[in-house]
Amino acid sequence: MSASEKKAAPHKKLGARHKARKRAVDLLFEAEARDVDAADLARERGELARSDDTVTPVPAYALTLVDGVADNLDRVDSVIESHLTDWTLDRLPAVDRAILRVAVYELFHTEDVPPVVAVDEAVELAKALSTDESPAFVNGVLGRIVLLAPQVRAAAAATARDESAQAESNGTESNGTESNGTDTGSAESNETGPDATTGDEDSARD
């Protein structure tokens, strides 16, 4: 499909999250090109948008995606690399790398986004932002990675539950320790009382 045909083709109405994904891809692409931290760039751009009407705002979900990709970049890239055929991650077009990174983060870490939606959105972004071959390529890579999503999400949920339970347990133990400390203090106070009284009686006898 030529560039003119792309422009002429009808477009469905884009939702807020689609726009946020596109903004996240733009920021990841720019950060890599400039060799700067993507999360820092996103925050700086967001602050600039609040004071400059000519700068496109950074949606909250775009910040979530950029932060998530940045925090999990090594693992995300490892997953992508292991599912490429006849390609390496470094050889991919930079925009395709950014699209895949956002999609893989969503597949593994966003419980409220169905895996099929994450894949479809990535393909739509590839259609809009990359080459004619990219949509099929992105779909093929993510079609293999998506099979891992349920077990990765389940493992992450189990880890989160364990950490929450451990935190509650630690909080309960801490409260118990504080309570024991108070009781001990009262006991010490009671022990001091008789000693003081005895001291007074000794002085009176003297």
Kindly report, residue by residue over 174-192, the tens digit of the pLDDT. 666 555 555 544 444 444 4
- What pLDDT does 178 receive? 57
- Interacting residues of 141 by C-beta distance below 8 A, sequence separation 6+: 80, 83, 84, 100
Reported as a pLDDT band with limits 50, 70 and 90, residue 9 is very low
If one compares 181 and 91, the residue with the highest pLDDT of the two is 91
Write down the pLDDT at residue 125.
Answer: 98
Pair of tokens at residue 69: 């990709």
State the pLDDT confidence band at 172, using cuts at 50, 70 and 90.
confident
* Whole-number percent of the chain with pLDDT over 70: 77
**Among 135, 91, 122, residue whose Cα is nearest residue 17:** 122
What's the pLDDT score for residue 10?
44
Does residue 198 register a pLDDT over 50? no
Most confident of 9-18, 72-81, 165-174: 72-81
Under the banding of pLDDT at 50, 70 and 90, the label for residue 173 is: low
Q: State the average pLDDT for the chain.
A: 84
Q: What is the pLDDT of residues 25-54, one digit of tens each?
A: 999 999 999 999 999 999 999 999 999 999
* Lowest-pLDDT range of 107-111, 114-118, 124-128, 180-184: 180-184
pLDDT confidence of residue 202: 44
| 67 vs 165: CA distance, rounded Å | 26
CA nearest neighbour of 59 among 102, 100, 18, 119? 18
Q: Report d(CA 42, CA 145) in Å as an integer.
A: 27
Domains and CATH numbers, the chain: 14-149 (1.10.940.10)
Joined together, the tokens standing for residue 163 give 């950490």
| Nearest residue to 105 (alpha-carbon basis) of 143, 129, 73 | 73
51: its two tokens:
């004071």
Separation between Cα atoms, residue 52 and residue 121, nearest integer Å: 29
Burial of 42 (0-12, 13-18, 19+ CB in 10 A): buried
For 83, other C-beta atoms within 10 Å of its C-beta total 18
Q: What is the pTM of this model?
A: 0.74
- Using N-to-C axis directions, what is the helix angle for 16-34 and 60-71, rounded to 10°? 50
Orientation angle between helical segments 115-129 and 134-145, nearest 10 degrees? 160
Q: d(Cα 13, Cα 149) in Å, to the nearest integer? A: 28
Amino acid at 131: T
